[in-house]
């Protein structure tokens, strides 16, 4: 395929993915908006007033970056894992496998589709948060790069999960038992400076902590982890997960006999 044909195939995959998640917007875009609004009202407003400032910021201001990241993470992951596994399950993945589209284009196409949903949900949640608090971005470049890399990493995670899954149960195990606990323990609702040194050390092994803190640093200008270190971790995760996802797709397990 020529470069132009490859670009057309890539844009076709993205267009198809965006069409899919916007068609079923009550399942894909509305739930995170409702959930995050509840978080803002209950944790930020009602309970947050009694908690007081965190790391020198109003509690609502403190949790907003984490909640935006949380919605980006879950939406990016969910989009790729559900879309790719459904295609595998009903064999419509064969439509693209019979075509000359190279595997790396299939991979980045689906990942870009997941990023579109993750970032769109992130924008929706950000706009909703403005109804509860106000902030100005400390570093827009850091905010954008963290959001892009995080959605890239979790879209790749969703792709790997979909490749390995053999039944629908398999696509809910990781979000329920890995992603959700790591997100809640990743410093969304608290600063790890509140923890004992031992638990601070344990928290440093949680990759989501770096993403939340880099994003928070981009918005507030303060965080538990140095942003350069967090970005380096994100790049490392991106490279490793891309390698694993590409290997699985080339091996074709579950999609080619």
Partner 1 sequence: MADDALSIQGLRKTYDGGFEALKGVDLRVAAGDFFALLGPNGAGKSTTLGILASLVRKTAGKVEVFGVDMDRDAARAKTFLGFVPQEFNFNQFEKVGDIVRTQAGYYGIPPRQAARNAEFYLRELGLWDKRESSARMLSGGMKRRLMIARALVHEPRLLVLDEPTAGVDIELRRSMWKFMERINEQGVTIILTTHYLEEAEALCRNIAIIDGGRILQHSSKRALLRQLSIENFVLDLKENPEALPSLEGYRCSWDEEGSLLLEVEKGRGLNSAFRQLDEQGLEVVSLRNRSNRLEELFLRLVEENARDQREATP
Closest by CA position to 74, among listed 19, 114, 107, 40: 114
Measure Cα distances from 234 to 37, 158, 229, 242 in Å: 28, 16, 9, 12
Q: Does 176 bind partner 1 (CB under 8 A)?
A: no
Site for partner 1 in 197-256 (CB under 8 A): 252, 256
Q: Does 101 bind partner 1 (CB under 8 A)?
A: yes
**How many angstroms separate the CA atoms of 33 and 31, rounded?**
5
CB atoms within 10 A of CB 105: 19
**How many angstroms separate the CA atoms of 177 and 125, rounded?**
24
Q: Does 26 bind partner 1 (CB under 8 A)?
A: no
Q: Does 103 bind partner 1 (CB under 8 A)?
A: no
Cross-strand partners of 54: 57
Measure Cα distances from 88 to 77, 171, 246 in Å: 16, 12, 16
Q: Does 136 bind partner 1 (CB under 8 A)?
A: no
Q: Does 99 bind partner 1 (CB under 8 A)?
A: yes
Q: Do the Cβ atoms of 153 and 238 come closer than 8 Å?
A: yes
Q: Does 144 bind partner 1 (CB under 8 A)?
A: no
Looking at the Cβ atoms of 12 and 180, the one nearer to partner 1 is 12
Work out which of 30, 34, 46, 95 binds partner 1, going by CB under 8 A: 95
Quote the crossing angle between the two packed helices 140-164 and 59-89, to the nearest 10°. Answer: 30
Q: How many residues bind partner 1, per CB under 8 A? A: 31
Work out which of 53, 100, 140, 201 binds partner 1, going by CB under 8 A: 100
Work out which of 33, 97, 123, 148 binds partner 1, going by CB under 8 A: 97
**How many angstroms separate the CA atoms of 148 and 141, rounded?**
11
Q: Does 1 bind partner 1 (CB under 8 A)?
A: yes
Looking at the Cβ atoms of 10 and 39, the one nearer to partner 1 is 10
Q: Segment near partner 1 (CB under 8 A), from 4-12, 58-66, 181-189, 237-245?
A: 4-12
Binding residues vs partner 1 (CB under 8 A): 1-2, 4-6, 8-9, 11-13, 15-16, 19, 23, 86-87, 90-92, 94-102, 252, 256-257
């Amino acid at each position: 395929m020529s470069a132009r044909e490859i670009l057309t195939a890539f844009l076709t995959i993205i267009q198809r993915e965006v069409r899919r998640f916007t068609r079923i917007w009550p399942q894909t875009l509305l739930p995170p908006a409702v959930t995050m609004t509840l978080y803002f009202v209950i944790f930020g407003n009602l309970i947050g007033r009694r908690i007081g400032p965190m790391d020198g910021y109003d509690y609502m201001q403190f949790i907003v970056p984490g909640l935006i990241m949380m919605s980006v993470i879950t939406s990016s992951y969910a989009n790729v894992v559900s879309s790719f596994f459904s295609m595998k399950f009903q064999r419509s993945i064969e439509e693209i496998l019979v075509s000359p589209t190279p595997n790396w284009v299939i991979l980045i196409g689906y990942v870009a589709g997941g990023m579109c949903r993750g970032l769109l949900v992130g924008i929706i949640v950000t706009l909703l948060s403005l109804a509860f608090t106000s902030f100005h971005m400390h570093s827009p470049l850091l905010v954008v790069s963290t959001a892009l890399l995080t959605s890239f990493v979790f879209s790749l995670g969703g792709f790997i999960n979909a490749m390995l899954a053999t039944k629908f149960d398999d696509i809910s195990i990781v979000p329920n038992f890995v992603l959700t606990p790591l997100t809640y323990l990743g410093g969304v609702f608290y600063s790890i400076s509140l923890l004992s040194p031992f638990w601070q050390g344990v928290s440093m092994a949680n990759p989501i902590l770096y993403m939340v803190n880099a994003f928070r640093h981009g918005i507030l200008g303060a965080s538990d982890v140095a942003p350069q270190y967090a970005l380096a971790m994100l790049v490392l995760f991106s490279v490793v997960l891309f390698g694993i996802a590409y290997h699985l797709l080339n091996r074709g397990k579950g999609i080619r006999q």
